[in-house]
């Protein structure tokens, strides 16, 4: 009897097994996003507040003029930074977010009915991204039970406790920001930039990452890699602004 293995189909992302097969490093954010953007697309964006947001990629999307987009992101940036620049130009149709403060234009558009909002608890949003990256279509959570978050969602009891069904996030594109990468896309994050960037990276069909430094392959300690390069399709290096959202200083 001859054994014939079943063919393997990769559903979510193209798998590249070596840098001899593909060059992941692009010269600019615009080049890295070329042929990926289209009106009405769904984008998962990393970042926590203004920390670790893919500012160069967001600016390139603004310049490309892509419109009617849905963004899944922890936050909407501020009026002139982060996703806020896309809100200002009316390129975003819907936000899936856990925190929407600090952005007056976001508030104005939402209250006037110009912007759709799917408000999602922070831990639920992170898990929805993680679930999408793992191919999990949905999961049950207690968070939001008895609130407006639960309206219209399936309820189910487990061990006498009520849970609601949340859907995994499956995005057309992931855009993230890391501190350091090697040429194959292995990434290292800094501090709170690690909160949402890894799950956001995994839930998109294609992931584009921007970093502050690209080092030769083999330079990173394997034990210090936070996101393996298998999840990263394209990579750019750039200079970042590193804003402080709320500056607090000592009086002494």
Model pTM score: 0.87
User: Which 3 state secondary structure label does DSSP give 24?
Assistant: coil
DSSP 60: H
CA 175 to each of CA 95, 146, 149, 219, 225: distance values in angstroms, whole numbers, following the listed order: 15, 33, 26, 24, 18
The whole-number pLDDT of residue 227 equals 98
Q: What is residue 12's predicted lDDT score, i.e. its pLDDT?
A: 44
In a domain, 110, yes or no: yes
In a domain, 23, yes or no: no
**Is the pLDDT confidence value at 53 over 70?**
yes
Q: Please, what is the Cα angle at 161 between 159 and 163, to 5 degrees?
A: 115
Report the domain count for the chain: 1
- pLDDT of 172 > 50? The answer is yes
Residue 182 in tokens: 């090697």
In a domain, residue 135? The reply is yes
CATH code of the domain in which 147 resides: 3.40.1080.10
According to the model, what pLDDT value does residue 21 have?
52
Domain extent for 223: 29-237
Average pLDDT, the chain: 90
Assign 45 to helix, strand or coil. strand
- Is 21 part of a structural domain of the chain? no
DSSP for 146-159 reads TSGGGTTS-EEEET
Q: How many CB atoms lie within 10 A of CB 15?
A: 10
Residue with tokens 């804003």: 243
Q: Give the β-pairing of 116-119 and 138-141.
A: unpaired
Q: Is 210 helix (H, G, I), strand (E, B) or coil?
A: strand
Q: H helices of the chain, where?
A: 29-33, 55-64, 84-88, 104-111, 122-133, 197-202
Residue 127 placed within a domain? yes
For tokens 């104005």, the residue is: 108
pLDDT in tens, 12-33: 444 444 444 579 999 999 999 9
Cβ–Cβ contacts within 10 Å for residue 93, how many? 15
Rounded to whole angstroms, the Cα distance separating 76 from 23 reads 32
Percent of the chain scoring above 90 in pLDDT: 75
The answer to whether residue 68 scores a pLDDT higher than 60 is yes
The answer to whether position 9 is within a domain reads no
């Amino acid at each position: 009897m001859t054994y014939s293995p079943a063919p393997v189909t990769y559903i979510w992302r193209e798998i590249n097994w070596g840098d001899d097969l593909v060059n992941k490093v692009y010269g600019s954010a615009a080049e890295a996003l070329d042929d990926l953007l289209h009106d009405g697309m769904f984008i998962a964006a990393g970042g926590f507040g203004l920390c670790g947001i893919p500012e160069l990629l967001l600016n390139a999307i603004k310049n490309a003029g892509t419109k009617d987009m849905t963004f899944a992101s922890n936050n909407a940036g501020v009026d002139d930074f982060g996703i806020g620049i896309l809100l200002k130009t009316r390129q975003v149709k819907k936000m899936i977010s856990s925190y929407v403060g600090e952005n007056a234009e976001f508030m104005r558009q939402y209250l006037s009915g110009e912007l759709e909002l799917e408000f999602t608890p922070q831990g639920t949003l992170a898990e929805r991204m993680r679930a999408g990256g793992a191919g999990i279509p949905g999961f049950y959570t207690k968070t939001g039970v008895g609130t407006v978050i639960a309206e219209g969602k399936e309820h189910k009891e487990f061990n006498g406790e009520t849970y609601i069904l949340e859907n995994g996030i499956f995005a057309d594109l992931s855009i993230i920001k890391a501190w350091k990468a090697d040429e194959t896309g292995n990434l290292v994050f800094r501090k709170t930039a690690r909160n949402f960037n890894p799950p956001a990276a995994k839930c998109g069909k294609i992931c584009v990452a921007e970093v502050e430094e690209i080092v030769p392959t083999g330079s990173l300690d394997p034990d210090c890699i936070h996101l393996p390069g298998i999840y990263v399709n394209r990579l750019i290096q750039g200079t970042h602004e590193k804003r402080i959202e709320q500056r607090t200083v000592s009086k002494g």
